[in-house]
């Protein structure tokens, strides 16, 4: 099939590259010429495992352009995958979505095109996009549209760091549309994923336990709400684990054992129960804020979701409070942070806990050192005020430090030679922000081991 993808961020690029790998002809549109040039040369503007390998394998079926007229006409499916950042009131900014819909509407020229909202958008946005498409189409063609296109919702459920795996081997595919023809087109587009009949990449084999992938076909509003509800629930699980963690610290319980004990209950499950600093990234914060804002439009409160957001904010402050309790004075103290990206296997710094923690420490007079194996270059571009605190060597984070905080659980950090690093520190204090280090082993090496829960 002929596919157009508008936007080459995490979602758009992963969608386009994966569909091209599966044999579809894909044209990606992005207004950033530098990004288009980079992608045309086979290089990815984002750090995502296997992305450049898949780009290389799919190069013959992919085109990158800044021109809608080179991508939209004749397309069977057009994915709109542009950013929808949060406004101050929590509602998403739909400026880019409107511009993309207008650009697509001007260039639709084919028998039938399914225009898919891939961006995370408020409930009801598909109807809004449909109206923009029609207005743009009618202004350009000077006639009413007559079944040339239909709007569908196809939310993504990608984990950064595992986005390609989640695209090729998903838990489910959700498609919302009020048009049976649209559902049929998307069913055909995803058929090889649904049936798992494609030959997997050698570097990303199919999970042995994976069978046929379920497709959830529903109306537009339900598909849009599924996306928000899924992210909100995952955010709730993380915040619940952290809230229980604070109680565990007060009563002398081990939160890691508590979450393991409840996670073995199949009704609960172990995933997203890891205690620590909390969630960041572009999805959970933005989507929970949008869900609360949308609910308010319908005079409905979301106290549980609101509480999850507050608990998450608290976890970042607790890092500083825990260091203050331990060191008594932060002014002049040298404190290192291991990890800047909001999670491992990505260079994404959006709502990254490390940035807030670093700034809180700096505001209190601490001498901060920052390290990340991948996200350092992005920090230089996006957070120039923190550039002076960067170091290229892990050893510099420990050298003469009063404390080191593990913020992002990169595999490189878990495998450090901790025995070699302890003598470098002025006071060997480790705050494990992700509960992923071995406290017993570190204690034997002479470290004072801390967590945000107090144990």
Question: Which residues, 6 or more positions from 74, have their beta carbon under 8 angstroms from its beta carbon?
Answer: 2, 109, 110
- Which one, of 151, 132, 135, lies nearest residue 143 by Cα? 135
In degrees, to the nearest 5, what angle opens at C-alpha 105 toward C-alphas 100 and 108? 120
Q: For residue 90, count other CB atoms closer than 10 A to its CB.
A: 17
C-beta separation of 246 from 276 below 8 A: no
How far is residue 251's CA from residue 245's CA, in Å, rounded to a whole number?
10
Catalytic positions, written as ranges: 283
How far is residue 307's CA from residue 156's CA, in Å, rounded to a whole number?
25
Q: State how far the alpha carbon of 42 is from the alpha carbons of 16, 63, 369, in Å.
A: 13, 11, 34
Alpha carbon 49 to chain centroid, angstroms:
14
- Which one, of 252, 253, 270, lies nearest residue 261 by Cα? 270
How far is residue 30's CA from residue 8's CA, in Å, rounded to a whole number?
6
């Amino acid at each position: 099939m002929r596919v157009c993808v508008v936007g080459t961020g995490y979602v758009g690029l992963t969608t386009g590259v994966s569909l091209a790998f599966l044999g579809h002809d894909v044209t990606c549109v992005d207004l950033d010429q530098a990004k288009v040039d980079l992608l045309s040369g086979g290089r990815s503007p984002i750090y995502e495992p296997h992305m450049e390998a898949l780009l290389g394998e799919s190069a013959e079926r992919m085109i990158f352009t800044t021109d809608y007229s080179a991508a939209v006409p004749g397309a069977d499916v057009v994915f709109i995958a542009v950013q929808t950042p949060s406004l101050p009131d929590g509602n998403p900014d739909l400026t880019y979505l409107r511009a993309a819909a207008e650009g697509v509407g001007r260039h639709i020229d084919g028998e039938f095109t399914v225009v898919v909202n891939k961006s995370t958008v408020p409930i009801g946005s598909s109807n809004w996009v449909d109206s923009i498409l029609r207005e743009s189409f009618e202004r350009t063609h000077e006639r009413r549209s007559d079944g040339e296109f239909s709007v569908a919702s196809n939310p993504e459920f990608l984990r950064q760091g595992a986005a390609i795996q989640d695209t090729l081997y998903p838990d489910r595919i959700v498609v919302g549309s009020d048009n049976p023809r649209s559902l049929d087109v998307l069913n055909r587009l995803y058929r090889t994923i649904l049936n798992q009949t494609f030959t997997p990449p050698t570097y990303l084999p199919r999970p042995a336990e994976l069978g046929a992938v379920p497709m959830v076909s529903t109306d537009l509003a339900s598909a849009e709400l599924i996306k928000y509800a899924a992210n909100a629930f995952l955010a709730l699980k993380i915040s619940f684990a952290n809230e229980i963690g604070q109680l565990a610290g007060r009563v002398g319980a081990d939160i890691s054992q508590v979450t393991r004990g409840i996670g073995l209950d199949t009704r609960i499950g172990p995933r997203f129960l890891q205690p620590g600093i909390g969630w960041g990234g572009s999805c959970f914060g933005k989507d929970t804020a949008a869900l609360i804002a949308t609910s308010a439009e319908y005079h409905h409160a979301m106290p549980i979701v609101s509480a999850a957001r507050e608990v998450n904010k608290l976890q970042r402050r607790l890092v500083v409070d825990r260091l203050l309790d331990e060191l008594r004075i932060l002014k002049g103290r040298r404190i290192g942070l291991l990890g800047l990206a909001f999670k491992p296997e990505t260079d994404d710094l959006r709502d990254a806990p490390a940035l807030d923690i670093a700034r809180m420490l700096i505001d209190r007079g601490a001498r901060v050192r920052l390290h990340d194996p991948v996200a350092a270059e992005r920090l230089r571009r996006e957070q120039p005020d923190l550039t002076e605190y960067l170091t290229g060597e892990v050893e510099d984070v420990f050298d003469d430090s009063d404390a080191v905080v593990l913020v992002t659980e990169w595999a490189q950090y878990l495998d450090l030679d901790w025995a070699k690093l302890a003598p470098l520190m002025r006071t060997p204090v480790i705050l494990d922000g992700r509960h992923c280090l071995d406290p017993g082993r570190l204690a034997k090496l002479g470290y004072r081991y801390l967590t945000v829960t107090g144990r």
